[in-house]
A and B are shown apart, each in its own frame.
Chain A
Amino acid sequence: NAGVTQTPKFQVLKTGQSMTLQCAQDMNHNSMYWYRQDPGMGLRLIYYSASEGTTDKGEVPNGYNVSRLNKREFSLRLESAAPSQTSVYFCASSVGTGVLGGYTFGSGTRLTVV
């Protein structure tokens, strides 16, 4: 049982390049999330998907887009990467809106934009 799987684990981009971070969960969870963690800080929510077919903005959505491809997969896209997007990105999933249980996190993607 893999839990939440993120790819890639590491990525270096040049300013202006685009890329998509992939996330998949095998726990049959309804809700999925993308967070970023900057050095010395906690995690901040970028986007979330409460259920298949829905997506909503979190605290720091600017510069990102997301796609809930199906119940298992939730991708994060950077259309034109900027140095300010250098961060560690975590994907997470949960059964529902928190009442039914906690969040499970992937192992993270370390992104550097130069």
Chain B
Amino acid sequence: GIQVEQSPPDLILQEGANSTLRCNFSDSVNNLQWFHQNPWGQLINLFYIPSGTKQNGRLSATTVATERYSLLYISSSQTTDSGVYFCAVGIGQNFVFGPGTRLSVLP
């Protein structure tokens, strides 16, 4: 099956800093999403991005499908950005989550 790796596993930032989260996957996919799971457990869909680049406010994402990786950029981080960021990839109904990057933003 598809293997998904995320790095780094843990990240601690001071408020205002920038960060890059990486997702590597083992096979060609037609679905890639980034999710933020907040401290209350809610999963929030950040980007649906099987290829290309998208931006939403302070967040942006780039997927290079031919090289099987995706990057999530967080600029000017805020304490509300804390939580776990999951990359999930798939083809058809086979949608696999990575292990996540746990982000802590300190005031």
Query: With A and B bound together, what is the CA distance between A99 and B41 in angstroms?
Result: 27
CA distance A44 to B97 in the complex (A): 7
Q: Across the interface, do B41 and A88 meet the contact criterion of CB distance under 8 Å?
A: yes
Write out the residue numbers on chain A whose beta carbons fall within 8 Å of the beta carbon of B92: 97-98
> Are A107 and B42 closer than 8 Å at their CB atoms?
yes
Could you tell me how many residues of chain B have their Cβ less than 8 Å away from some Cβ of chain A?
21
Contact between B99 and A41 (Cβ–Cβ < 8 Å)?
yes
Q: Which residue of A lies closest to B99 (CB)?
A: A42
Check if B26 is an interface residue, CB within 8 A of chain A: no
State the main secondary structure of chain A at its contact with B.
Answer: strand
- Residues of A with C-beta under 8 A to B99: 41-42
Identify the interface centre among B43, B90, B99: most chain A CB within 10 Å of its CB.
Answer: B43
In the complex, B31 has a CB within 8 A of chain A: yes
Asked, given contacts A42-B98, A42-B99, whether A103 binds B86 with beta carbons under 8 Å apart, the answer is no
Residues of B close to A110: CB separation below 8 A: 41
**CB atoms of B100 and A102 under 8 A apart:** no
Say yes or no: A31-B41 contact (C-beta < 8 A), given A98-B31, A99-B30.
Answer: no
Interface pair B93/A42, CB less than 8 Å apart:
no
